[in-house]
Structures are given as C-alpha cells and as structure tokens.
Amino acid sequence: MPGPDLNLLYTLDVLLSEGSVARAARRLRLSPSAMSRALARLREATGDPLLVRSGRGLVATPRALALRDRIGPLVAEAQAVLRPAEKLDLARLERVFTLRSGEGFVDTFGAALIARITAQAPGVRLRFVGKSERGQASLRHGEIDLETGVVSASDGPEMRTMALFHDRFVGVVRHGHPLAQGEVTAERYADGGHVLVSRRGQERGVVDDALAILGLKRRIVVMVGGFAAAVALVRASDLITALPERHTAALRAGLHTFPLPLSLAQVTISMLWHPRLDADAGHRWLRDCVRAVCGSGENQP
C-alpha cells in the first residue's frame, strides 16, 4: 500500500496559515481547481474536512487547528534538510570524533592533533581506539569516524583513502649497545638477538625476507604484538628491533636509532573513512587537521 504524498504537507501548511483556498492557491501558484483538488486529497488523507464554510468564509476544524501547530515546524525542518549545509562554525561545534590508529600514532601525533583541534574548535573531543579484528565494518557502521594505517587489500573498495606520509623501518637498540657504535652491516645486524613485532602473531616479517635475499637469517628471541612492548624490551636489554621511523618517533625517545642495512620498501600511512562522511563539513575539517599535523612536522619536538 503506497504511503501518503508528503508533498501535501507543504500544501497543508500554506492552506492552514492562509485560512483561504483562494489565497493559498495564489501563494502556491495553483489554479483554484487545482487547489480544490489538493484540499480534497488532504481531506481524504487526514479523514477530516479541515476547513468548513462559515458565512462567506472558511473556518478551521479542531483537527486543523491542532495540525497547524505541528505542521509549521515539520515543514521548516524538512526544508532545512534539503538546503545545502551551513558553513561550519568551529567555535560552536560540539562533536566527538572516534579515530582508530595503530600503536605509536597517539604517542607521536596525538598531542599536536589535540592542540590544533582545541585551538580551533574547543567543543570538539577526540576518542582514540586501537586496531581490532573487525576490519572496516566499524567504519561502515559509523562506530569509527577515521582510521589511520597502511591500506591493505582487505580494506573495502568503497572506502575513501588519502596518504598522510611515507615511513621507513629503522633499527632500534639501547644506548651503549654494540650496534650503537661503528658501521652496522647486514651481518652485524643479523647476528644479534631480535624482537619481532607482529600484531597477527606471524613468525617472520619483511626484515626476514630482506635478509634471506642476502643469504642471512636473524635470531628472533621474542615476538610481541605491539611497538610499545618491543621498545620496553630493547630499552632494558641487548635486543634489537625494527620499527617504522615516523610512526614511533615518541616511543623511541632515549633509544639509539640507525638505518637498516637492508633494501626495504617504504610504507605509506594513510587515513581511511567511509564515503558517507565525504561531504560532511566537520569530518572534512578533521581530515584537514590530521593531514596538517602528520605532514607538517607539528608533532616533532
């Protein structure tokens, strides 16, 4: 069964505000006969005569008077929905954005991002959450507003992406470690004990593949699920780890960093969002803030 014609709401609003079929017709630029037909449809839809003759004029029925108080705001709200979005007023914006990022992103970029957002829009709050196994479902369902990380083949093809920065893997050891002195060759690097970082629990990574090309194999002493755990172990031992340089800048404070003596491709850190937020003014502003902080070096001490 078809629903009611919602175009009749605007007609009813004009009719009740004018209290005259003739004046309503002029305002709507309809002929008297077309206006009479519209009134007949409204009477059929509401089950009420709405306007009844009294002397030479028309008077509203009790149902019409009750509808008049409701129909005006309803029509105004519908018209607002169909108008272009108003210019974003950052000073008055109140909103919570949820950002999902890999470990190290908040440590390195979080403070600068918060400072930038607070300065422009003090009513905006950020919620940072870690990576999960739900993939892009939370972006589709609106639980996550923006994600940062490496775009993979498993990411939905409909997702919008924008590159933030390129990163490279570097070696990390404590100060005073033998690799903190002298030239770090592939042989010296492979000879030590290593911490492998793998969120998915894999037992080898891109460093092992690069070493294998040179006929070398490193000794992996321990595997951990995150950068912070690797940094903690390296800080308190002679273990070695490999971490993305920019992404872990804050985590690596107080440690010795050196270029890896291997041929490794750079990784691109991007931000991802669902296309339903593409035109949202607040979300566009958030993306601009993240891009500015990650690309301008505002996070650097």
For the chain, the structural domain boundaries read 7-81, 91-156+276-296, 169-265
Strand, helix or coil for residue 202:
coil
Question: Which residues have CB under 8 Å from 136's CB, separation 6+?
Answer: 154, 155, 156, 159, 272
| Phi/psi at 95 (5° precision) | -165, 150
User: How far apart are alpha carbons 38 and 43 in whole angstroms?
Assistant: 9
CATH code linked to domain 91-156+276-296: 3.40.190.10
User: How far apart are alpha carbons 171 and 257 in whole angstroms?
Assistant: 6
Contact 5, 41 (CB under 8 A): yes
pLDDT of residue 137: 75
User: How far apart are alpha carbons 70 and 202 in whole angstroms?
Assistant: 62
* Of 95, 81, 152, nearest in space to 286 by CA: 95
The pTM of this model reads 0.67
Q: For residue 52, what is the enclosing H or E element?
A: strand 51-54
Strand, helix or coil for residue 273:
strand
pLDDT of residue 236: 96
Contact 196, 203 (CB under 8 A): yes
Single-letter amino acid, residue 200: R
Q: Which residues pair with 167 in a beta bridge?
A: 267
The alpha carbon of 180 is separated from its chain's Cα centroid by a whole number of angstroms, namely 40
User: How far apart are alpha carbons 183 and 189 in whole angstroms?
Assistant: 10
Asked, colleague to colleague, whether 91-156+276-296 and 169-265 share their fold, the answer is: yes
Single-letter amino acid, residue 276: R
CATH architecture for residues 7-81: Orthogonal Bundle (1.10)
Contact 148, 164 (CB under 8 A): yes
Contact 266, 244 (CB under 8 A): no
Topology annotation, domain 169-265: D-Maltodextrin-Binding Protein; domain 2 (3.40.190)
pLDDT in single tens digits along all 301 residues of the chain = 456 677 788 888 888 888 888 888 888 888 988 888 988 888 888 888 888 887 777 888 888 888 877 887 777 777 666 666 668 899 999 999 999 998 889 999 999 999 999 999 999 999 999 886 556 778 877 889 999 988 876 666 678 899 999 999 999 999 999 999 999 999 999 999 999 998 877 888 999 999 999 999 999 999 998 999 999 999 999 999 999 999 899 999 999 999 999 999 899 999 999 888 888 899 999 999 999 999 754 444 3
Q: Give me the long-range contacts of 63-67 (CB less than 8 A, separation at least 24).
A: 64/16, 67/12, 67/16
pLDDT of residue 295: 79
Compute the radius of gyration of the chain from its Cα atoms: 32
